[in-house]
Each structure stands twice: as C-alpha cells, then as structure tokens.
Structure 1
Amino acid sequence: MSFKFLPSLSIAALALTAAASAQAHGAADTATSLAAYTPHTLSRAEVIADLEVYRRSGLAALDAQDSPNVYGSDYLQAQARYQALRHDPAFQARVAMLARERGETAMQVSAAR
C-alpha cells in the first residue's frame, strides 16, 4: 500500500480548514458590525444646540488640543458641565427655538429623537 498521497491530502485538508475558518470569522465580523450600528437621526436644530453646549462646556477647547488629557480634572469637569447643560430644560427650549427659526416642524424634531 502506497502512502505517497498523504502529504498532499494533509495540505489540502489544512487549506480547506483555514479557508472555512477565515470565512466564518469574516461573517462573524460583519454580523457584529451590523449589530453594533444603530442609526440615530437628530434634527439639525438638535445638532446645532448640542454643538453650542459642547463649546460652552469647554469640551471643544480641550478637544482641540493635540492630545487632551481625558482623565484630567479640567476635562472631567468640562464633561460634567456638558452633561448638565445637555440635560437642562434650557437645552430643549433652545432646540425648539432653533427648529422654529429653521422652519423645522415639531414632527421632524420629535421624530429625530
């Protein structure tokens, strides 16, 4: 009995296994990427108001640095100011005012949330 074909059979089996594994990993990566993507639509008024709050909080100035210290007290305080401003009722009032100025309907703004 001749076993000359065993090395080429082993190589073929190894190649087939590697190809199947790569395909499975590629499919898993795609599924993970698609599952992680959740579209979130904001109205233009919400984006403008958020940018204003981002600048007012001081985060914009800190983020403009080459490498901001995101763990430093200045940055953490700016983040806290941003969150406070973002959750303040004045933020929603500003969004509503911007929406009116821009001619956006209440439906567009509320649907974007």
Structure 2
Amino acid sequence: MSTKNIIASVVFASVAAISGQAMANDNPHLQPVNTPSQVSRAEVLADLQIYRESGLQAVEQSETYGYDVARRQEAQAKYAELRRSPYYATLVKRFGGTPSATTVAGR
C-alpha cells in the first residue's frame, strides 16, 4: 500500500467518524417532547377573545408599549375581571368546551 493510499484511508476514516458523530447529535429520540396541554381548545379560544376584548392585545401591540403604563394596567385589570367572570365560562361553552369550576375561578 502506498503512502497516498494510507493517507487517503486515514482522511476517509476521519471524515466518516466526524460525520457519524454529527448524525448522532440529530437523534430525534434525544429531542424534547411536548407534553399535551391541560387546557382545551375552547378554553384557549375563550381566553383569546377576552384578551382582545379587554384591550390588552391592542396595548401590547401598540407603539407605546412599555410607556403607556396606565393604559396597560387598566387593560390587565379588565382582562383579569373578564377571566374570572361567568362570561369566560359562557365563551368556553360557545366554543364547544365544558368549563370546570376551577377554570373560571382559578385564573
């Protein structure tokens, strides 16, 4: 075996080893697994509706976000009030869910 063949074999083996290591890092079994949510789709949709109606979405997407503290606090208070109200349970039912007693009072 000539020197060129030996060098080529060593280079090939090195590249193969590095490639194998890189492929091992992409093992899908080592990736984080998302656990199922405890919140139903209807609850998410109801929460989104309240988020929009309270004005919190408008405040968080405005150019004055971070500066208009009073407006944000007012929107957060209205959001919290709507979230605790029976209106939230009504929205959950409208979106096809069944709200539990802790869903309305717990948040």
Q: Same fold (TM over 0.5)?
A: yes
Unaligned runs of 5+ in 1: none
Which structure would you say has the larger RCO, counting Cα contacts within 8 Å and 6 or more residues apart?
1
State the alpha-carbon separation in 2 of the partners of residues 13 and 97 from structure 1: 66
1:33-48 alignment to 2 at 5 Å? Answer: 34-35=32-33, 37-40=34-37, 41-44=39-42, 46-48=43-45
State the alpha-carbon separation in 2 of the partners of residues 47 and 10 from structure 1: 58
The number of equivalent residue pairs is 100
Unaligned runs of 5+ in 2: none
Q: Does 1:17 align with 2:17?
A: yes
State the alpha-carbon separation in 2 of the partners of residues 6 and 53 from structure 1: 71
Aligned to 2:56: 59
State the alpha-carbon separation in 1 of the partners of residues 8 and 73 from structure 2: 61
State the alpha-carbon separation in 2 of the partners of residues 80 and 6 from structure 1: 75
RMSD value, Cα: 3.9
* Greater fraction helix: 1
Aligned to 1:98: 91
Query: If the length of structure 2 is used for normalisation, what is the TM-score?
Result: 0.57
Q: How much has 1:42 moved relative to structure 2?
A: 2.0
The one-letter amino acid paired with 2:35 is T
